[in-house]
Structure 1
Amino acid sequence: MKIGIFFGGQSREREISFAGGRTVYDNLNKNLFEAVPIFVDSVGDFILLDWQYIYKGTIRDFFPPFNHLPPTPHGFQIYIESLGDLTIEERENVIRQVGRRIQPDEFSKLFDFAFLALHGPYGEDGNIQGLLEWYNIPYSGSGILPSSIGINKIVQKKLMKNAGFPGPKNLYLKKADWLNETDKSTFFNHFRNELGLPFVVKAPYQGSSIGISVISKEDTQAFEKAVYRSFFMQPVSKHDWTSLSEEGKINFIRTLTDIRDGIGLPVMISGNKVNHPEHLFDQLNYHFSQSDSTLILESLDNEEEIVIEGFISGKEFSCIVVQDENGKAIALPPTEIRKGNEVFDYRSKYLPGMSRKVTPIDIPTNQIEGIRTACERLFNELNFNVYARLDGFINQEGEIFLNDPNTTSGMLPSSFFFHQAAEIGLNPSQFLTYIIRTSIAERIKTGKKTFAFKQLLNTLDTNLHRLNTEASEKTKVAVIMGGYSSERHISVESGRNIFEKLASSKKYEPVPIFLTGNEDSHKLYLIPVNIMLKDNADDIRDKVLAADSKSKHPVIQKVITEAKDITVKYTGNAILEPREISYPELAEKVDSVFIALHGRPGEDGVVQSNLEKFGVPYNGSGVESSKITINKYETNKLLRENGVKVANHKLVFKNEWADNYETLIKEIESTFQYPIIAKPADDGCSSAVKKINNLEELTAYAKLIFAWDDLKDSESSRTLKLKYNEEFPCKNYFLIEDLVSKGDAKHFLEVTGGLLTRFNASGEIEYEMFEPSETLATGDVLSLEEKFLAGEGQNITPARYSKDPEAQKYISSQVRTELQRAAKILNIQGYARIDAFVKIYDDNRAETIVIEVNSLPGMTPATCIFHQTAINGYKPYDFIDKILTFGIERNNRKVLI
């Protein structure tokens, strides 16, 4: 069955939709479905997308294509709407670079079923559902009416009140009234008197907590800012603008035009439309050089009326409700959301570590059942179909308040959507199959194209039965994830991604393994999919270690029983409980291992050494190479000895700092010039990598990494401006090195290049060097989020060395040759990622300075190594398959020797 996956879209949630569409694309069962990617751009065009673009980190990495971007001296990133009002022909020219523009009347020729991974307006409001019904295409999720209700918070509240659902008092504020009143405190006083403090200001037609604020204090200014934010308007005074530095102005524009945190583009200013951030920058500069008047910037996609409601104090939860085979609503175990901030905002929802998800919510069983009952009743009252996500609060008195029901859910690998389905034993691939089948059954009920839809359903059921009855002859692969380093959360993201790619394949059967412990010893645990999909590595560890002392929660057990008719159709022999597994047992259970660990252990050869004892093939480099590449100092030393350019560097030891501080500082400051880079010598993923500008910052860094100062709320953390929940590993030494800069080169950029190895006919190892990606950091150094998390970073693949095609090819060849030379010196095998700076001179000579080598690079869905492999024709699964195949062949050759 051909499945058209609709993702991207026109809403402010387009990046999460893009990442969710990729999750669906990768996780559809390849024995049942053929995925057809339908990218919806932000002006509403439907694009049959060339598959390689699915693996870009963000939409702006590929669309609009680089050659269609106007100059941007300040480095602003844009969507296609910032190109202005393009003609149809101009839009066609842009689209042809990434795929083919298609019309709705072509849908039925391209796919049999539409899977909707769109969010917000145009995606979950009935618009796309109506279009698909017009063209007789069955689609996922709820129909037109419940979708239109699900997006409209104002209508929802009225319907819920009429149905007897308790809720906070809510009021409304019209934009016209707001703009006509000069004394904004009048509104603040009114809402405070009516609702009390705190209260919530929210945009009624948005998802992902976009345009929502909590007003907690007597602060008219904060209230005014929140109201403008919900209307997607931004006042800018002369003082606001002129008091900023040049860098401050750039950051102001960058935040203002961000569709998640700001109002987005285009904007209207005094009746004129501004499309591009550079034009906005220039217009603000010009206006405030001529006038003192405040400007009001207004998004073209703004709200005419916003909701002001009372704040509910209590535990926040989210609950996925699904339908069984008979159409009965079943609420899955509700998840408690433990936030770092008052609001479960966009970043809290989608960045690991920013919040915690606890399933089921930590309250008495009868109260959990009360939440489930309420969610099922609301699902039915609003006529939702197939599945929905219902959010709410429960206060200390046990009162349940449901709010903002959604007819779809975020579909990132660790989202509630998959997280809760895993509690009844469905992995992501199986849950997607359930969604497709149940959606077809729902569309049959509409009385439209009944015979054709029944045929489609019968075909799917026949194939499902065949899969469940055929004996499996798949290669079993243990996917080891987790660990105890500061990179453990990224390791889990990588491991889940590998698991999911293999789980939907025809060739492999993945077995999830979690590693935990410390530097002295570690243990392996076989884990069920529900634990694998917990929020982060710490949640998984806690569940694994508590498994021996706790039986399965009674609510989860009850839901498993209620959902038996669902799970029996889609699951095979699932792992039900975690248990410790030894290396000898692992060798008996699986045919191969994929090590998805980062840092120690994993990249240091320890796990590899244990696997080699029992003849188990594995991915990546061997023991000796791993021992070198884990240590940045030793890596750079070896490369330098062999003529590869690296940054000047030095190890700083804890005892040396404590005993000979003045001598050490004198030596550092005589050898290095600020700013310098400080980093752990044996951690990757940008963990604790900082640009150090002076002795004060260097001292703060040393205090944190040597654990002489608290990470939370200390003077040292403030000096280094650490983010909320940012981790900082404790070490006995760290590395400092020169900050590599442009110097007298004509062009300077940071790149990261991937590679793959294979055996040739003579049994020698050959290297396939991918086109490196250009990595763009918003701060001093590339952050963890920018490297690995969907929608956060921007990577340009291939790197932009030159506008001249011949020069581009020549420079790229030089860079890849130097990266390959470094890989050979280090005896890299399997695959790897090498980070480097590149200086390009007037004669197109390229100087490549290697920064670090990752023998087990991040394999999260958004990592740029997948962008690089796509250029060479490998989908992520193909790349993973080649990595595993090399490891198995290498092991077989050792056995033969």
Structure 2
Amino acid sequence: MKIGIIFGGPSREREISFAGGRTVFDNLDKSLFEAVPVFADSLGNFILLDWHYIYKGTIRDFYPPVEVVPPTEHGLQMYLESLGQLSEQELEEIAAKVGLRIFPHQFRQLFDFAFLTLHGPYGEDGSIQGLLEWYGIPYSGSGILPSAIGIDKIAQKALLQQHGFATPDYRILSSQEWHRSQDRAALLDGLVADLGLPLVLKAPHQGSSIGVSIIKEKDLQLFEEAVARSLFSITLQRDEWSSKSPAQQLNFVKTLTDIREGIGLPVQTQTGELVYAPEELLTLLSASFGENGPETLTLTSVESETQVLIEAFINGREFSCIVVQDQQGQPIALPPTEIRKGGEVFDYRSKYLPGLSRKITPIDLPTEQIQQIRQECERLYTSLGFNVYARLDGFITEAGQIFLNDPNTTSGMLPSSFFFHQAAEIGLNPSQFLTYIIRTSMAERVKSGKNTAHLMSLLKKLDAAMADERAHRHDKLRVGVIMGGYSSERHISVESGRNIYEKLASSTKYEPIPIFLTGDDHTHQLYQIPINIMLKDNADDIKEKIEASEAGVPTHPVLAQIKEEAQGITKLYAGNSLQKPQRLSYEQLRGLVDAVFIALHGRPGEDGVLQTELEKFHIPYNGSGIQSSQITINKFETNKILRENGVHVAEHMLAFKKDWQEDRNAFFRRIEANFKYPFIAKPADDGCSSAVKKIKTREELEAFAELIFRNSVEIPETPARVLKLSFKEEVPLKGYFLIENLISKEGARHFLEITGGLLTSYGPDGKTHYEIFEASEALAEGEVLSLEEKFLAGEGQNITPARYARDPEERQRISDHVKQDLKRVAEILRIEGYARIDAFVRVFEDGKVETIIIEVNSLPGMTPATCIFHQTAINGYKPYDFIDRILQFGMERTKKVIS
């Protein structure tokens, strides 16, 4: 069956839709389905997308294509709507650069079924569902009416009350009432008198993460800002704008026009003038607040709301519950997940970055209360007429009262989402859950009485294909995917491991087996883990579940009951699966797998220790061998060897804890004698993203040393504040750290940070052949690249290929030079399998190119959003193809050793 995956779209959640579409594209069972990527742009055009672009980090990295974006002073990325009014011919030409523009009447020629990963307006509100029904295309999820209800938070209120569901008191504030109000303080007083504090303000027609604020105190300014956020409007003051530096003004415009946190573009001024592009807005603000300009300027998004939903705050525990339906159409609520977050609002970052919030499944409550939550979710699912699946969010108070709000007919489909997390509790991996959704949706569309014979024929073919796939499930190579570890990058390791698992699980060649590694530098503990534990929120949650199992803690009675209720689903889509973690020795691992994929970051994994154990039992593995790994984990040794071989590297030195303990003043003076502020400080022997800081002052250097050299895991408050550590940011404990000079432009015409990937294979002569990919240009929002920018979908800006020059021939000349430099580094360090090399590039007026190496990662991050997949796509490798090549090399290397 051909599955058209429709993703992107006009809404403010388009980046998560884009990332979710990529998840579906990669995880569809390749023995059953052929994926057809259909990108909906922000103006509502459909594009049959060249698959290479699916592996870009964000939509803005490829669309609109860089060659149609007008050059601007600050080089800001933008969406299609910022290009202004476009003709049909211009739209055709822009689409042609990334694929083929298509129209709904052509859909039936291109695919049999539409899998919808669109979010928010146009995607979850019945719009796309109605379009597909008109053209006779079966689609995933709920139909038109429940979708329309699911997006409208105000309509939901009336329906919830009508069906006897508890809902917090609320008021509706129209934009007209707001703008006409002569006394906003009195308005706030009235709301507080009616609803109490805190107040929750929501944009009524957006996804559950957009335009939401919580007002804890009766503060008029905070209230006005929250209303503006929900209406997607803002009033700027002349004094506020004038007090900002040019850099602050630029950052303000970036945030203001951000579709997730700001109001987006285009915006309209109070005089009706439309502003399309971020640079255009920057110019307008500077001009408007010049001499003789107005004291205030109001900007409103063209996709603004006309109402704000204001609710009483529910003081309770927050949960989310996926409801699915069985073969008889009866709803089954999966185990509700409790959301424990760092901030008040479960926002975009909390939702989609592993480790920022905790998802506890099932919610930690007495069994009776969990069952009450499930019963209410099933009742709401039925009452609103949902089909196939839905995500229902809610709260339970200390008194046991259950409030349900924000029913979603389309859940986020990132690997870390509730969607897969809860399905795993009944034994379905992501690939199997997607198959369940397609088949169940098809059966639902049959009930509509439209196209019945055609849909029944498709269902029959799918059932036959599924039966054939089940019969051949065991004829595959078994790959142990080792993830977790105990480094500060363990959560990202889990994300990488899950991504590898999922790519292999949907293949026709491999059967992946999730293996979790924990312990310490002295003892490794390996566990084969079931799919539900692999899809827990982060590495710490996985470890906790393993320890509970080892301690003999029985399966939660609610989970046992749900598994029983869902037996029919599990048997059809998953068959038998592992029920609880099993401890493994390396010798037992040898009997379980044909090869392993190490998805660990930092120590252990990248340091050669794990490789040593695997080689004892001739277990093939990915990545570099023991000796090369031992070198590249140590940034100081790596740079020393490269320098000795004539490669450009940063000036560096090691700073030792013993010297710091003996005489702190002498310790700091010695560093300052060798390096001018600002410089870079980072662990010398850990992962690439772990505690890398730009140090600008003695105070920051003292704080960094105190954090790295502390004696307990707890992070002291003062140095954390000095270094502005983000929420849940970890800093490893070390006996020494690395100081590097800050690499700068130094007279170059062009200067940029890049990250370049590579892949190795054996040539006919048996020697290692290096394939160096086009490097990505890494754009850091802050002083150094953050974990979010490297690994979170929709966060990082990686331009692939790197923009070395505007002229294509000159760009390629520089690229070839850089690739040769990266290849030389790989040869010097004897890298095998694959790797990522980070560097800075200087291009001088005379055409001279300098590549300054920062570090080498022998097991680079393999999360869905990592830029190595953007690079491999240019060379024709989908992520699965790349992973397959990496595994093939490891197996061939082991064969050579044995023979």
Amino acid corresponding to residue 738 of structure 1 in structure 2 = N
The answer (yes or no) to whether the contact 2:707–2:715 under 8 Å persists in 1 is: no
Give the match's secondary structure for 2:289: helix
Deviations 1:827-877 (A, max 9, x none): 000000000000001122210000000000000001111111111100000
Give the match's secondary structure for 1:744: coil
- The 5 Å alignment of 1:616-765 reads 616-707=619-710, 714-765=717-768
Structure 2 equivalent of residue 91 of structure 1: 91
Structure 2 equivalent of residue 228 of structure 1: 228
- Judging changes above 3 Å, is the alpha-carbon distance between structure 1 residues 837 and 471 closer, same or farther for their aligned structure 2 residues? closer
The answer (yes or no) to whether the contact 2:200–2:312 under 8 Å persists in 1 is: yes
Residue 710 of structure 1: CA displacement? 8.3
Q: Which range is displaced more, 92-101 or 424-433? A: 92-101
- CA–CA separation in structure 1 for the residues paired with 2:261 and 2:808: 37
Residue 712 of structure 1: CA displacement? 5.1
Structure 2 equivalent of residue 373 of structure 1: 375
Structure 1 equivalent of residue 279 of structure 2: 278
Deviations 1:571-606 (A, max 9, x none): 133111111111000001100000000000000011
Amino acid corresponding to residue 839 of structure 1 in structure 2 = R
The answer (yes or no) to whether the contact 2:342–2:357 under 8 Å persists in 1 is: yes
Amino acid corresponding to residue 326 of structure 1 in structure 2 = Q
Residue 740 of structure 1: CA displacement? 0.3
Give the match's secondary structure for 2:191: helix
Residue 677 of structure 1: CA displacement? 0.4
TM-score w.r.t. length of structure 2: 0.99
Structure 2 equivalent of residue 114 of structure 1: 114
Amino acid corresponding to residue 322 of structure 1 in structure 2 = V
Residue 120 of structure 1: CA displacement? 0.3
Which of 746, 766, 769 aligns to 1:766? It is 769
- CA–CA separation in structure 2 for the residues paired with 1:158 and 1:468: 46
Which of 551, 560, 567 aligns to 1:557? It is 560
- CA–CA separation in structure 2 for the residues paired with 1:303 and 1:685: 43
- CA–CA separation in structure 2 for the residues paired with 1:709 and 1:257: 42
- CA–CA separation in structure 2 for the residues paired with 1:374 and 1:672: 63
Structure 2 equivalent of residue 607 of structure 1: 610
- Judging changes above 3 Å, is the alpha-carbon distance between structure 1 residues 464 and 710 closer, same or farther for their aligned structure 2 residues? closer
The answer (yes or no) to whether the contact 2:482–2:596 under 8 Å persists in 1 is: yes
Residue 666 of structure 1: CA displacement? 2.4
Q: Which range is displaced more, 666-675 or 830-839? A: 666-675
- CA–CA separation in structure 2 for the residues paired with 1:439 and 1:37: 19
The answer (yes or no) to whether the contact 1:208–1:346 under 8 Å persists in 2 is: no
- CA–CA separation in structure 2 for the residues paired with 1:333 and 1:547: 18
- CA–CA separation in structure 2 for the residues paired with 1:637 and 1:863: 28
**Root-mean-square deviation (CA), in Å?**
1.0
- CA–CA separation in structure 1 for the residues paired with 2:579 and 2:713: 40
- CA–CA separation in structure 1 for the residues paired with 2:717 and 2:76: 34
- CA–CA separation in structure 1 for the residues paired with 2:518 and 2:512: 19
Deviations 1:498-546 (A, max 9, x none): 0000000000000000001112212001000111011111111111111
Give the match's secondary structure for 1:766: strand
Deviations 1:264-321 (A, max 9, x none): 0110012100001111111111111132421111000011111111110111000000
Give the match's secondary structure for 2:114: strand
Amino acid corresponding to residue 142 of structure 1 in structure 2 = S
- CA–CA separation in structure 1 for the residues paired with 2:18 and 2:795: 12
Residue 713 of structure 1: CA displacement? 6.6
The question of 1:207 aligning with 2:210 is answered no
The answer (yes or no) to whether the contact 2:758–2:835 under 8 Å persists in 1 is: yes
Which of 420, 425, 428 aligns to 2:427? It is 425
Residue 810 of structure 1: CA displacement? 1.1
Residue 617 of structure 1: CA displacement? 0.4
Structure 1 equivalent of residue 43 of structure 2: 43
- CA–CA separation in structure 2 for the residues paired with 1:737 and 1:255: 31
Amino acid corresponding to residue 347 of structure 1 in structure 2 = R
- The 5 Å alignment of 1:319-330 reads 319-330=321-332
The answer (yes or no) to whether the contact 2:17–2:412 under 8 Å persists in 1 is: yes
Give the match's secondary structure for 1:829: coil
The answer (yes or no) to whether the contact 2:648–2:851 under 8 Å persists in 1 is: yes
The total of aligned residue pairs comes to 896
Deviations 1:119-152 (A, max 9, x none): 0000010000000000000000000000000000
The answer (yes or no) to whether the contact 1:711–1:717 under 8 Å persists in 2 is: no
Amino acid corresponding to residue 650 of structure 1 in structure 2 = M
Deviations 1:231-271 (A, max 9, x none): 00011001111111111111111110111110001100121
Residue 691 of structure 1: CA displacement? 0.6
Residue 208 of structure 1: CA displacement? 3.6
- The 5 Å alignment of 1:17-32 reads 17-32=17-32
Amino acid corresponding to residue 48 of structure 1 in structure 2 = L
Amino acid corresponding to residue 240 of structure 1 in structure 2 = E
- The 5 Å alignment of 1:317-716 reads 317-470=319-472, 472-549=474-551, 550-707=553-710, 714-716=717-719
- CA–CA separation in structure 2 for the residues paired with 1:171 and 1:191: 8
Residue 90 of structure 1: CA displacement? 0.9
Residue 760 of structure 1: CA displacement? 0.7
- Judging changes above 3 Å, is the alpha-carbon distance between structure 1 residues 160 and 713 closer, same or farther for their aligned structure 2 residues? farther
The answer (yes or no) to whether the contact 2:713–2:733 under 8 Å persists in 1 is: no
Amino acid corresponding to residue 262 of structure 2 in structure 1 = G
- CA–CA separation in structure 2 for the residues paired with 1:614 and 1:522: 16
The runs of 5 or more residues in structure 2 that have no matched partner are: none
Give the match's secondary structure for 2:740: strand
Amino acid corresponding to residue 379 of structure 1 in structure 2 = Y
- CA–CA separation in structure 2 for the residues paired with 1:19 and 1:544: 30
- CA–CA separation in structure 2 for the residues paired with 1:19 and 1:502: 19
Residue 458 of structure 1: CA displacement? 0.6
Amino acid corresponding to residue 885 of structure 1 in structure 2 = Q
- CA–CA separation in structure 1 for the residues paired with 2:740 and 2:191: 55
- CA–CA separation in structure 1 for the residues paired with 2:82 and 2:864: 27
Residue 72 of structure 1: CA displacement? 2.7
- CA–CA separation in structure 1 for the residues paired with 2:736 and 2:770: 34
Structure 2 equivalent of residue 134 of structure 1: 134
Amino acid corresponding to residue 35 of structure 2 in structure 1 = A
TM-score w.r.t. length of structure 1: 0.99
- CA–CA separation in structure 2 for the residues paired with 1:425 and 1:505: 18
- CA–CA separation in structure 2 for the residues paired with 1:60 and 1:807: 24
Structure 2 equivalent of residue 70 of structure 1: 70
- CA–CA separation in structure 2 for the residues paired with 1:694 and 1:40: 48
The answer (yes or no) to whether the contact 1:709–1:716 under 8 Å persists in 2 is: no
Residue 665 of structure 1: CA displacement? 2.3
Give the match's secondary structure for 1:774: strand
- CA–CA separation in structure 2 for the residues paired with 1:370 and 1:212: 28
- CA–CA separation in structure 2 for the residues paired with 1:500 and 1:584: 25
- CA–CA separation in structure 2 for the residues paired with 1:635 and 1:572: 48
Percentage of matched positions with identical amino acids: 63
- CA–CA separation in structure 2 for the residues paired with 1:12 and 1:572: 39
The answer (yes or no) to whether the contact 1:268–1:299 under 8 Å persists in 2 is: yes
The answer (yes or no) to whether the contact 2:748–2:844 under 8 Å persists in 1 is: yes
The answer (yes or no) to whether the contact 1:52–1:871 under 8 Å persists in 2 is: yes
Residue 664 of structure 1: CA displacement? 2.7
Amino acid corresponding to residue 771 of structure 1 in structure 2 = E
Q: Which range is displaced more, 342-351 or 161-170? A: 342-351
- CA–CA separation in structure 2 for the residues paired with 1:836 and 1:141: 45
Give the match's secondary structure for 2:515: strand
- CA–CA separation in structure 1 for the residues paired with 2:21 and 2:716: 39
Give the match's secondary structure for 2:550: coil
